[in-house]
Amino acid sequence: MSCQYLLLLMLSVGVSTVEVHRPRGVPLSRQFYEEDKPFTCLDGSRTIPFDRVNDDYCDCQDGSDEPTAACPNGSFHCTNAGFRPAFIPSSRINDGICCCDTTDEYNSGAACQNTCDLGRKEREELVKMAEIAKEGFQLKQQLIHEAKRGLEDKKAKLSEIQSSKKDLEAKVEALRTVKETAEQPEKEAKGRHMQAWEQKAIARKEKDKAKMTEVFLELDDDADGVSVAELLSHSELDPDLDSSFTEAEAQVLMGGEDKVDPASFEAVWNNIKEKYLSESNADIPAPVETAQEETPVSDNDSDQYPEDDIPEEEEEDDEEDEDDDQDESDYKVPPTERTKEKKDDDDEGTMPPYDQETQNLIDAQKARDEFDEAERALREVDDQINLEKEISFDFGPSAEFGYLYSQCYELTTSYIYRLCPFNRVSQKPKYGGSETNLTWGKWSGPQDNIYSVMKYEHGTGCWQGPNRSTTQVKLTCGKETVVTSTSEPSRCEYLMEFITPAVCQEPPNLDSGLHEHEEL
């Protein structure tokens, strides 16, 4: 039978001569025999007189009558009051190495001192750690329960999303066909409209170019290029309309040049064409002011053509000429007509609205809107399909680490360290600078506890060194979830300490453990 059942009578303790009524080397909780009565070996092999118990002679085969070295299979109990009780083999009794309470060295002559009080601090720390482990394990059970419920919800949602995605994909393809069918005549109609407008724009450009050439020849009296003096002959070009068209103002219109040739005249033409009045039609009268139109007639026009001097037939001829040449631009246009012409030119620079026939063909917008809406809904479903990636992660045997997903935790020293479990680890200088990152790798703890270490890898390069290859995140049990420290055990490799209840294991009952020590 096991040596843990030794019952021995202790006649004295250490150097004390005080008699105690319990066996030396046996816990007080054991009461297997009574004094002055025969002792039966615990294995039942024989019964001996009580005075042969603890007499340094092994009478029982199981050694239950001797706590000393008399029996090779014996065991001695050190009480170690204030610290942890312990059993030691009988071979270690009186060997000069003491239990903390010195009771095992009663006959060795060793100078032992009781050091059990020094173990109180360790015991208190163990009690504290046991309490933390207990609370952490309780939190872990809650995490497991929430993870299980959350996983079921996510799987149900994923199944619903996947089913919805198939329906949306079919809807998008159907609406794509509708849209493309509706867009074909619209595209053709818009193309015809655009082509017509482009042709009109080309014609307008050619017309403007011809007009520019005509004006150049008209201004170039001496056939050696248009000069500032020649431009000054057209007072209507005065920029500030103060009836004083100066040489300096004319030179500005000339782009700072004194004279320009046909190739350089285009820039001048762009400056003057809005105001320029052709000399070839300088003799055509302006419309006579009527009571209905309060547009003032210039004094020059009035002086040129007094009403009494215009013959009736000439007036009629002028009116006919005016009608014939209405679309031409080589006559002196009165202010009101010039304004209208300018407006027409401005309109020509902008593509006109679609005609009714084209507008009737442009009816694909509704089909486009419906297609865009369906495509947007499909993209939203694709975004939600990321649940599949989350569900596939290894969050521990019972998904207890799942609550860390999509969370980040920081520690600030001279750097800001940021841990985003299952995603990345980053390091950034506290007072500005570039950030370095490592991405999630795998669980990399020892084989018997693989979920105790996280590994992050594929980092950016160290300055004048290798790439940051690995960051190990060591997980320890605690009630909180927090990064507690970082270190660099070797160059460009980092170690991070991380507390989480998810790693807590069910702790043994402390009182039960102590009771078991006493029993052994």
**DSSP class of residue 245?**
-
Across 81-230, the runs of DSSP E, i.e. the strands, are: 86-89, 226-227
- pLDDT for 498-518, tens place per residue? 999 999 998 776 554 444 433
Band of pLDDT at residue 520, cut at 50, 70 and 90: very low
Cα–Cα distance between 285 and 372 in angstroms, integer?
Answer: 61
To the nearest 10 degrees (0 to 180), the angle between helices 119-219 and 335-348 is 130
Question: What is the C-alpha separation between 52 and 36, in angstroms, rounded?
Answer: 11
pLDDT over 50 at 12, yes or no: no
Three-state SS sequence of 12-33: CCCCCCCCCCECCCCCCCCCCC
**Alpha carbon distance 471, 444 (integer Å):** 11
Helix axes 119-219, 510-519, angle to 10 degrees: 150
Give percent of the chain with pLDDT exceeding 70.
72
Place 141 in a pLDDT band, splitting at 50, 70 and 90: very high
Distance CA 478, CA 131 (A): 10
pLDDT exceeds cutoff 90 at 406: no
Q: From the options 2.70.130.10, 3.40.640.10, 3.40.50.300, 3.50.50.60, give the CATH code of 402-500.
A: 2.70.130.10
Sign for the pseudo-dihedral over CA of 166, 167, 168, 169: positive
470-476, strands of its sheet edge to edge = 409-412, 415-420, 424-429, 436-443, 453-457, 470-476, 493-499, 482-490
Alpha carbon separation from 453 to 387, 424, 426 (Å, rounded) = 25, 14, 17
> Helix and strand tally (H, E) in the chain?
11, 14
Residue 481 has what pLDDT? 95
Which of 183-192, 450-459, 481-490 shows the lowest mean pLDDT across its residues?
183-192
Cβ neighbours, 10 Å, residue 278: 18
Structural contact between residues 23 and 54, judged by C-beta atoms closer than 8 angstroms: yes
Instruction: Answer for the pair 75, 15: CB distance below 8 angstroms, yes or no.
Output: no
Q: What is the pLDDT of residue 464?
A: 64
Which phi and psi angles does 437 have, rounded to 5°? -135, 150
Classify residue 245 as exposed, middle or buried by CB count within 10 Å of its CB (0-12, 13-18, 19+): buried
Pick from 144, 160, 194, 182: which is nearest to 501 by CA?
144
pLDDT in tens, 192-216: 777 777 888 888 888 888 888 888 8
* Predicted model pTM: 0.43
Alpha-helical regions (H) of 60-118: none
Amino acid, res. 246: T
Average pLDDT of every residue of the chain: 75
pLDDT at 296 > cutoff 80:
no
Range 321-335 burial, b when 16+ CB lie within 10 A, else e: eeeeeeeebebbbbe
Task: Give the pLDDT confidence score for residue 511 in this predicted structure.
Answer: 53
Mean pLDDT of 131-153: 89
- In the DSSP assignment, the letter for residue 337 is H
Question: Is the pLDDT confidence value at 6 over 50?
Answer: no
25-52 pLDDT per residue, tens:
777 666 665 677 888 888 888 888 888 8
Quick check: 2 pLDDT over 50?
A: no
The whole-number average pLDDT for the span 463-492 is: 83
Task: Please tell me which residue, 161 or 111, carries the higher pLDDT value.
Answer: 111
Interval 69-91: pLDDT, tens = 678 777 788 888 877 788 888 88
Residue extent(s) of CATH 2.70.130.10 domains in the chain: 402-500
Helix (H) or strand (E) run with residue 188 in it: helix 119-219
User: In the numeric block, which tokens belong to residue 437?
Assistant: 């990152």
